[in-house]
Amino acid sequence: MKINEIVVVEGKDDTVRVKQAVDCDTIETNGSAINELTLQAIEHAAEKRGVIILTDPDYPGNKIRMTIEKRVPSAKQAFIDASIARNKRGKIGIEHAPLTAIQDALVNVSTPFDSDVETVSKQLLIDLGLIIGPGAKEKRTKVCRVLKIGYCNGKQLFHRLNAFGITEEDVKNAIK
């Protein structure tokens, strides 16, 4: 499978694993040490070919994703669930994900929705028990997994649902 966009990953091991799964070019952020030069390269790549962010499903990976997203709001995003991106010792990373999970993530990318209109309200998320209440984290985890948007806390969930143009109906169906 050939990916036309450039895939942004954290490091060399991620590049090796992603290239085992698909035919693509990558940019490595050098982990949390992402710098201005790398951000400029990602911006340039986004203008020329487009980029897909595929960072580790952990706190540092999410922080890198948000840094890139601020600079390149047009970046597509691919997510792999942390439960399947673990090695035998429990270390989380794209380099530990099954090749099929990487392929699936890159086929099911989330594309930013260019609109100021909210597709999902905070009140709906509260009413569905995704932000506040007993079991909210578990419900949110399930919805994020079904919608393939990566794990989110309540604030991130609201942002991602609206950024990707996911509708109230999509959220309600994901809960079922």
- Over residues 42-58, the pLDDT tens digits come to 999 999 999 999 999 99
Given a cut of 90, whether residue 118 has pLDDT beyond it is no
**136 and 87, same structural domain?**
no
Q: What is the pLDDT of residues 139-155, one digit of tens each?
A: 999 999 999 898 888 88
Does 96 fall in a domain? yes
Separation in Å, CA 51 to CA 14, 104, 122, 168: 16, 17, 29, 27
Domain count, the chain: 2
Q: Which of 82, 107, 132 is the last residue of a domain?
A: 107
Q: Can you read off the two tokens belonging to residue 68?
A: 């890139």
Q: Which of 83, 107, 131 is the last residue of a domain?
A: 107
- The CA-CA-CA angle for residues 20, 21, 23, to 5°, reads 85
Of 79, 107, 135, the residue at which a domain comes to its end is: 107
**Mean pLDDT calculated for residue range 119-123:** 91
- Domain membership of residue 113 (yes or no) is no
SS3 100: helix
70: in domain:
yes
Is residue 114 assigned to a domain?
A: no
Mean pLDDT of the chain: 93
Q: Which residues are registered as beta bridge partners of 7?
A: 26, 52
Kindly tell me if the per-residue pLDDT of 2 is higher than 90: yes
Strands (E), the chain: 2-9, 23-28, 51-53, 76-77
The whole domain housing 84 covers 2-107
pLDDT at site 105:
95
Residue 116 lies in a domain: no
**Which residues, including other chains, have CB under 8 Å from residue 83's CB and lie 6 or more apart?**
none
114: pLDDT strictly greater than 80: no
d(CA 27, CA 15): 8
In order of 54, 96, 138, the CA distances from 101 in angstroms are: 12, 10, 22
Q: What percent of the chain has pLDDT over 70?
A: 98
Six-digit token string for 170: 């999509």
Q: How confident is the model at residue 115 (pLDDT cuts 50, 70, 90)?
A: low
Identity of the amino acid at 62: N
